[in-house]
Amino acid sequence: MRGPDGRFREILDVADALAPRYDGLYVVDLDGRRKGEPQLDYIQELSRDVDLWLDAGVQVADEAIDGLVAGARRVVLSTVSLASVRELRRSWKMSTEIVVEIAVAANGSVVALEGDWAGAKPSDVASAIRALGPQTLAYGPRGHPPDWDVVAALSAGGPTWVAGAFNLSDLPSLATAKAEGGVFHIPRSDLTSLGLASPPEVTGP
């Protein structure tokens, strides 16, 4: 993986360093997202010592199950990549350890491959998903800060996490919206203290 200082580091070494500090890791598998080729061998190794959620661009149910068999605690299915409602239904029948991310554009509408969901309101899509079985959702704003009114509306219907643009400074808003939790980028200060990033350069007189 590439750190914030631009240097590449072995993902297993990174996970070993971070696991004692955090309750779990949310892993975004870029090969899975971009190429449809998730790195399941790495997931198997990573999941041995940490509670791991996997976001690998799942399109169909079989891919979700592959991630769970590899050891992920939960697999994230996003409206951005999920091929159809049918595949969501199949995934749920195979395992209840899935989380559905509702990707939301800056205009407040849902980003989705599924035609009935694309452009819809997040609350409407959340209701449709929960009617199919999955109850745990992730709200994923794309390129904009979280809309906490939307988070509160989704949380009123069931467990809801905030992903993507969530920051630790948003914890008070998270609590007010009664969300289940948030997925955040690990602070550079933590990475630096663990030797996973170089200290930022300081310039001055």
Instruction: Supply the pTM of this predicted model.
Output: 0.83
Q: Residue 199: what pLDDT?
A: 45
Identify any residues that bridge with 160 across adjacent strands, giving them in sequence order. Answer: 137
For the chain, domain boundaries: 11-193
Q: Residue 188: what pLDDT?
A: 63
What is the per-residue DSSP string for 20-47? Answer: TTSS-EEEE-HHHHHHS---HHHHHHHT
Nearest alpha carbon to residue 52 among 69, 23, 73, 70: 73
Query: Residue 34: which residues within 8 A CB-CB, separation 6 or more?
Result: 57
Reading the chain (205 residues) residue by residue, the pLDDT tens digits are 555 556 666 777 777 777 777 778 888 888 888 888 888 888 888 888 788 899 999 999 999 999 999 999 999 999 999 999 999 999 999 999 999 999 999 999 999 988 889 999 999 999 999 999 999 999 999 989 999 999 999 999 999 999 877 788 889 999 999 999 988 776 666 656 656 555 444 333 3
For residue 116, give the 3-state DSSP assignment.
coil
Q: Residue 20: what pLDDT?
A: 74
Buried b (16+ CB within 10 A) or exposed e, 40-73: bebbeebbeebebbbbbbbbbbebbbbbbebbbb
DSSP 8-state code for residue 66: H
User: Is CATH 3.20.20.70 the classification given to domain 11-193?
Assistant: yes
Q: Residue 149: what pLDDT?
A: 97
Q: Residue 196: what pLDDT?
A: 55
Q: Which helix (DSSP H) or strand (DSSP E) does residue 101 occupy? A: strand 98-104
Measured CA to CA, the distance from residue 21 to residue 45 in angstroms comes to 18
Q: Residue 47: what pLDDT?
A: 85
